[in-house]
Homo-oligomer: A and B are copies of this chain.
């Protein structure tokens, strides 16, 4: 599924927020929500909610709002969450273990299918129900499980090397948790998840309290 028109990056970035919000509402058995209420929960005006969703179709009814279950199914389709995307995780340290067990992914139906490491002390260990395999086997594992997404959870100094290898074996999307920016070809999508950005925002707030 390709988007027919260019959709603003900020709209795309809000889709997961809508999705998370609607999932929660659905779990609470809320049936209908207005664009105003939905906007309040995401932190954008109702006009922006309607505009964001209008890129993908006509979902709401004027004066009524959005049917939660129906919009949730539509967003699943739009986000690609109705397909199966096996993931390879590189790095079986604490962060890697945390990501394998992260409730938030399972809720999305996403599954880390293989965990690789170069450390002989870690290879063969189990994380949840996955056995840690050697990073040397990356190529065959990616082929075997038809993997298109990789997560990097290795120390910063190794991140670029791991990214290069992931690109070499044909991975199309990389989620990088190492606190360094990785550089890869344009056709591969990378999300650099720098955890320190979040904490710096909080420190900024604390510094302004007195």
In the complex, the answer to whether A103 meets B179 with C-beta atoms within 8 Å is yes
Inter-chain CA distance A23–B139, complex, in Å, is 35
In the complex, the answer to whether A208 meets B3 with C-beta atoms within 8 Å is yes
In the complex, the answer to whether B20 meets A104 with C-beta atoms within 8 Å is no
CB distance from A91 to the nearest CB of B (A): 10
Inter-chain CA distance A197–B24, complex, in Å, is 14
Mark contacts of A173-210 with chain B using CB atoms, 8 A cut-off: 1 yes-contact digit, 0 otherwise: 11100011100000001010111111111111111111
In the complex, the answer to whether B175 meets A189 with C-beta atoms within 8 Å is no
Q: Does A94 contact B (CB under 8 A)?
A: yes
In the complex, the answer to whether B208 meets A173 with C-beta atoms within 8 Å is no
Q: Does A98 contact B (CB under 8 A)?
A: yes
* A–B complex contacts, Cβ < 8 Å, 29 sampled: A1-B210, A2-B208, A13-B201, A16-B196, A20-B194, A20-B197, A78-B204, A80-B203, A80-B207, A93-B101, A94-B94, A94-B97, A97-B98, A98-B98, A102-B179, A102-B196, A103-B155, A104-B179, A105-B196, A105-B199, A107-B179, A110-B199, A148-B209, A149-B199, A173-B203, A175-B198, A175-B199, A189-B206, A193-B195
